[in-house]
Structure 1
Amino acid sequence: MIDTIRAYQHHKVGLTWIPVSPLWRTLRKVCNTHVFASMKLDATQYLRRNKIQELIANVGKSCHKGEAIKIGQAIFDTTINLLSNTIFSVDLADPNSSSAQEFRKIVCDIMVEAGKPNLVDYFPLLKKIDLKGAWR
């Protein structure tokens, strides 16, 4: 497990990081019952279909205008809107706004920073020095 995950305490609560334990079993049961159950997935199928239709419509509009399509941005907006609609019943990313592009850049920057190798991952003795500044 990389040091950045430990620095932000994600290893204590993230389902992908915590070891098999009663907490892990509880979280897994909640996910299987409330998130990934066939009935729940079937209930939100219309939402997924609707978001894909919106994506196709936006691509079609761009094609008619002769504009280039930023595939990464379009997929990101669709994914964020699908998740935000599932959780909050509202779109968080408007494909026509600059704030959606800024949000994507922030998320990408976070992923890049979290994924950067840290010397501590290879040399645990350097943990006290905190060269990356992850523990500050």
Structure 2
Amino acid sequence: MIDAIRACQHHEVGLTWIPVSPLWRTLRKVCNTHVFASMKLDATQYLRRNKIQELVANVGESCHKGEAIKIGQAVFDTTINLLSNTIFSVDLADPNLSSAQEFRKIVCDIMVEAGALFWILFSTLLKAVSRSLIKLLSQNCFW
């Protein structure tokens, strides 16, 4: 578990981070029943359509101006806004607000930290496997 998640005890109450447990089942049930139920999603379909239209309009505007399109930023903003509109009825990733840019940076920093942790674990495992494989291949060469 990365320190950024432990810092505010998100690993104890965050649906993404907690292990399967009675709390996890309760939170998942609440999400399935009240947030992501078919009727709720159908009722807010216009919000999702609106966010996709905004994405297409922003891409079109950038193309018209001859500007490069930051695909990662555009997808991040659209995804966050889709989720935040579904849950909170507000855009969390308005590119004109400094708080949205700060939020994006925090999320990216957490992703980088989490990725670094997994890379460290993966590279450690890879070293152990490669050492064993080299030893095995070397033994076969000298027998």
Q: TM-score, normalised by structure 2?
A: 0.67
* Counterparts of residues 28-107 of structure 1 (less than 5 Å): 28-96=28-96, 100-107=100-107
User: Given the superposition, is the C-alpha separation of residues 24 and 80 from structure 1 closer, same or farther in structure 2, using an over 3 Å criterion?
Assistant: closer
- Residue aligned with 2:2, SS: helix
Shift of 1:41: 1.2
Q: How big is each residue's C-alpha offset from its partner over 1:18-68, in whole Å with a ceiling of 9 and x where there is no partner?
A: 344322221221121012211111111111100000000111111111111
List alignment gaps of at least 5 residues for structure 2: 125-143
Shift of 1:87: 2.9
Distance in 1 (CA, whole Å) between partners of 2:12 and 2:86 is 25
User: Given the superposition, is the C-alpha separation of residues 73 and 37 from structure 1 closer, same or farther in structure 2, using an over 3 Å criterion?
Assistant: same
Q: Does 1:4 align with 2:2?
A: yes
Q: TM-score, normalised by structure 1?
A: 0.69
Shift of 1:116: 2.0
Shift of 1:117: 2.1
**Map of 1:132 onto structure 2:** none
Quote the sequence identity (%). Answer: 86
List alignment gaps of at least 5 residues for structure 1: 123-136
User: How many residue pairs are counted as aligned between the two chains?
Assistant: 119
Cα root mean square deviation, aligned = 2.9
Q: Which amino acid aligns with 1:27?
A: L
